[in-house]
Structures are given as structure tokens and as C-alpha cells.
């Protein structure tokens, strides 16, 4: 895109991936960032304490669905790029109460697209050409790969199975339509499961680490045979930055770790690392307990990240072992 010193309006920056993205932008680029976050239960500004004093960082506590405040923020901040990471993101919560998922993930994204479109249409030709709307999505939109050796590519049809993944799939479709219908310069990325520091403790990896340290049971759904493709969050945000600076308009990029693991293997890895780093009289694996499976639980997700590897020269820098060691050490 050839833009230096970009102004990035990033939504959901107090969350797990959003905060990693902001730390990356402030620490590794000359760009500025406006963090727009509603601060739901999942938002934690403490994830940003190392960068929040920087003059290139600003924060506004606003809902992306707010039809009054959001246009004001665009007018005042004048972004070159929008990165949409604000979402309700926890599958179990989406099963118990889907409402917030539809509100934020679908209607919130719709509001952001409409405001972006109006803002973009009034930019000068030069700024219009450089503007990007980057929507951050998940591999869960593709559904389940049970009993196959297949991988999700950018051509895999959408087949979401949970209220969470259905709401993310809807938002991806809206972004695509705003590009095709209105010409808004969008890019979409679909990423596999992330892990790393500052992850909210309801998700598998932090939950297991914190339960183990507290001597509590380690609840594994079903037989623990569900396969996910794990990516260290710092590798994900490096990919996202490449996509906003070098990705092609209207394209989608899959991002994955080339690293499929069964859930039970992930939990066993955590237990072994804790046995080494914080030994106790009995192995942590003794705490593992199998619990009733989640309804509609997808068996296997796996990303083919060849396109981003070939076109943008991205690949993960952290092996699973190295990333997990860093993560466990951070929680310790
Ligand atoms: P998260 O739940 O940790 O953070 C979400 C953030 O969005 C929070 O800070 C929350 O306060 C904010 N937010 C929620 N609703 C909002 C609203 N209406 N307006 C403004 N802010 C709002 O999520 P995450 O794990 O960081 O995921 C970020 C994005 O990446 C999501 O879109 C998710 O679908 C996607 N994703 C996540 C993963 C993963 O493994 N975590 C993998 C692939 C894609």
C-alpha cells in the first residue's frame, strides 16, 4: 500500500488478539492507533499498559454498533485503515445466549461497514485508494473437517455450526458484499485458534493453566479428540499487519499454524510444562477429567495457509512447543 505513518482505527483492542495487535503496531511500526472498545467482560485495558502512554495510542470506550459516536470518531480521527477485531468470541457463551453475538458480530460489523463506506466515499482520490477495511475472522466459519484429511482453503464453502461461527460467517458475507456492491476496499482474514499471553481465562489453554495451578480439575470436553490448528498470537498479528499493508483488495487470506493438535494433547503439554516449571508432589495430568461434550462441537479444524505464505511471505515463527513454553511462563 506504500503508506507510512498510517492511522489505524482498531476495534476490540482491549481483547486478546486486538491488544497483541496494538502492542505490535506501537512497538514495531511508526503507525498510530485508535482503540475503539466497548470493554465487555472480555476487554482488559491492562493488556495495554506497556504501550498506553505512547502518544501514538488513543482509546475510546464505544460500542461498534453506536450510530452516533462511531461516525464522530471517524470524522475526528481520520483513519487510513480500519481493523475490525471487536466481537463476542466465546462459543460456549454463544450457545447459552446468542443475542450479543448477533448484535455485535453482525449488526456491529454492519454499522462499521456503513460508516466506513460513507467516510471512504468522501475521501480525496489519493486517500480513497489507500484506505483499507480489514475484517478479522475465524476458521470456524468453514465448519467441521471430521473424518477427512482436507484443509480449509480460501475456496472452502462456509458451513458454520455454532451461533458464534454463524454470526462470524454472516459478518464475513457482509464485508464481501460491501466490497462487491460499493467498492469498499476490504480484506478478510480467517485464522485458526490462537494462544498466548493475555488470553481470557475462559478459553481452553489459560483455563487449564490456571486450574492446574489452583489444583482444580482440568475439564476436557468429550474424549478430548477434537483437533484444532494452534497459532501463537504474535505470529497472527504479524500476518494481520502484512495483510493490511500488502494484501490485495477483495481477497481473503487464511492464517494457520501448520500445527494440528488434539485438545487432550494440548492439555498434556501444559501439564508437562508445569511439571517442569512448577513441580508438585503429583503430576498435573492427574487433574484431567473428561466432561460432557459441547453440543454441536466441531471435531476438526485445519487451515491451509499456503496463499499467505506464498503471496505475502508469512509463516509462523513459533513452534507449538516454544509458543506454549512462553505462554505457560507468562501465566506463571
Ligand atoms: P476477545 O473476546 O478476547 O476480545 C474481543 C474484544 O472486543 C473485547 O475487548 C471486547 O470488549 C470487545 N468488544 C466486544 N463487543 C464489542 C462491541 N460491540 N463494540 C466494541 N468492542 C466490543 O476476542 P479475541 O480472541 O481477541 O478475538 C478477536 C477477533 O479475532 C474476533 O473477531 C474473533 O472472532 C477473531 N478470532 C479469534 C481467534 C481466537 O483464537 N481467539 C481465532 C480466529 C479469529
pLDDT tens digits for 265-294? Answer: 999 999 999 999 999 999 999 999 999 999
The answer to whether 196 and 325 have CB atoms below 8 angstroms apart is no
Backbone angles phi, psi at 40, to 5 degrees: -75, -175
Q: What letter would DSSP give residue 157?
A: P
Whether 140 is catalytic: yes
How does pLDDT run across 175-227, given as a tens digit for each residue?
A: 999 999 999 999 999 999 999 999 999 999 999 999 999 999 999 999 999 99
Is the pLDDT at 2 greater than 50, yes or no?
Answer: no
Max CA distance (Å), the chain: 67
How far does the chain reach from its first CA to its final CA, in angstroms? 40
Which grid coordinates belong to 98?
446468542
- Predicted local confidence at residue 148, as pLDDT: 86
Probe ligand 1: pick from 19, 23, 42, 70, max atoms within 8 Å of CB? Answer: 42
Interatomic CA distance for residues 133 and 183, integer angstroms: 11
Is the Cβ atom of 166 under 6 angstroms away from ligand 1? Answer: no
Backbone angles phi, psi at 33, to 5 degrees: -140, 135
Is the Cβ atom of 168 under 6 angstroms away from ligand 1? Answer: yes
The residue whose CA has the least distance to atom 4 of ligand 1 is 15
Is the pLDDT at 44 greater than 90, yes or no?
Answer: yes
Which grid coordinates belong to 308?
499467505
Q: Ligand 1 centroid vs 181 CA: distance in angstroms?
A: 27
How does pLDDT run across 86-108, given as a tens digit for each residue?
A: 999 999 999 999 999 999 999 99
pLDDT band at 3 (very low <50, low <70, confident <90, very high): low
- Predicted local confidence at residue 243, as pLDDT: 98
How does pLDDT run across 114-145, given as a tens digit for each residue?
A: 999 999 999 999 999 999 999 999 999 999 99
Residue 9: strand pairing partners: 34, 82
pLDDT band at 147 (very low <50, low <70, confident <90, very high): confident
- Predicted local confidence at residue 4, as pLDDT: 73
Q: How far is CA 104 from CA 168, 173, 318, in A?
A: 10, 15, 32
Percentage of the residues of the chain whose pLDDT score is greater than 70: 99
Whether 241 is catalytic: no
Q: What is the average pLDDT across 64-74? A: 98
* Coil vs helix vs strand at 261: strand
Is the Cβ atom of 63 under 6 angstroms away from ligand 1? Answer: yes
- Predicted local confidence at residue 122, as pLDDT: 98
Q: Ligand 1 centroid vs 253 CA: distance in angstroms?
A: 18
Q: Measure CA 64 to chain center.
A: 16
The answer to whether 191 and 253 have CB atoms below 8 angstroms apart is no
Whether 129 is catalytic: no
- Predicted local confidence at residue 1, as pLDDT: 47
- Which residue of the set 140, 235, 260, 298 is catalytic? 140
- In our burial notation (b when 16+ CB lie closer than 10 A, e otherwise), range 35-74 reads bbbbebebbeeebbeebeeeebbbbbebbbbbeeebbebb
Percentage of the residues of the chain whose pLDDT score is greater than 90: 97
Interatomic CA distance for residues 87 and 64, integer angstroms: 9
Q: What is the average pLDDT across 35-54? A: 98
Amino acid at each position: 500500500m506504500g503508506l507510512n505513518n498510517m492511522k489505524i482505527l482498531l476495534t476490540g483492542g482491549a481483547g486478546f488478539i486486538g491488544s497483541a495487535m496494538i502492542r505490535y503496531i506501537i512497538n514495531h511500526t511508526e503507525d498510530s492507533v485508535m482503540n475503539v472498545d466497548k470493554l465487555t467482560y472480555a476487554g482488559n485495558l491492562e493488556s495495554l499498559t506497556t504501550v498506553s502512554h505512547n502518544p501514538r495510542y488513543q482509546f475510546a470506550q464505544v460500542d461498534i454498533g453506536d450510530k452516533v459516536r462511531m461516525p464522530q470518531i471517524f470524522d475526528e480521527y481520520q483513519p487510513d485503515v480500519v481493523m475490525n477485531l471487536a466481537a463476542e468470541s466465546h462459543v460456549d457463551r454463544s450457545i447459552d445466549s446468542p443475542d450479543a453475538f448477533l448484535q455485535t458480530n453482525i449488526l456491529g460489523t454492519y454499522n462499521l461497514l456503513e460508516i466506513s463506506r460513507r467516510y471512504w466515499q468522501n475521501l480525496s482520490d489519493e486517500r480513497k485508494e489507500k484506505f483499507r477495511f480489514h475484517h478479522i475472522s475465524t476458521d470456524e466459519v468453514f465448519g467441521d473437517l471430521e473424518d477427512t484429511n482436507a484443509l480449509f482453503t480460501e475456496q472452502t464453502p462456509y458451513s458454520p455450526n455454532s451461533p458464534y461461527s454463524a454470526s462470524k460467517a454472516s459478518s464475513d458475507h457482509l464485508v464481501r458484499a460491501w466490497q462487491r456492491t460499493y467498492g469498499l476496499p476490504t480484506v478478510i482474514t480467517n485464522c485458526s485458534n490462537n494462544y498466548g499471553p493475555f488470553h481470557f481465562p475462559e478459553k481452553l489453554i489459560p483455563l487449564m493453566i490456571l486450574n492446574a495451578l489452583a489444583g482444580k480439575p482440568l475439564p476436557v470436553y468429550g474424549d478430548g479428540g477434537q483437533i484444532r490448528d494452534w497459532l501463537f498470537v504474535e505470529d497472527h498479528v504479524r500476518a494481520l499487519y502484512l495483510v493490511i499493508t500488502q494484501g490485495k483488495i477483495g481477497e481473503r487470506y487464511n492464517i494457520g499454524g501448520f500445527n494440528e493438535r488434539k485438545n487432550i494433547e494440548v492439555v498434556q503439554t501444559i501439564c508437562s510444562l508445569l511439571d517442569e516449571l512448577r513441580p508438585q508432589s503429583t503430576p498435573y495430568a492427574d487433574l484431567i477429567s473428561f466432561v460432557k461434550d459441547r453440543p454441536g462441537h466441531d471435531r476438526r479444524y485445519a487451515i491451509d495457509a499456503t496463499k499467505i505464505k506464498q503471496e505475502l511471505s508469512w509463516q509462523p515463527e513459533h513452534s507449538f512447543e516454544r509458543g506454549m513454553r512462553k505462554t505457560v511462563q507468562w501465566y506463571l
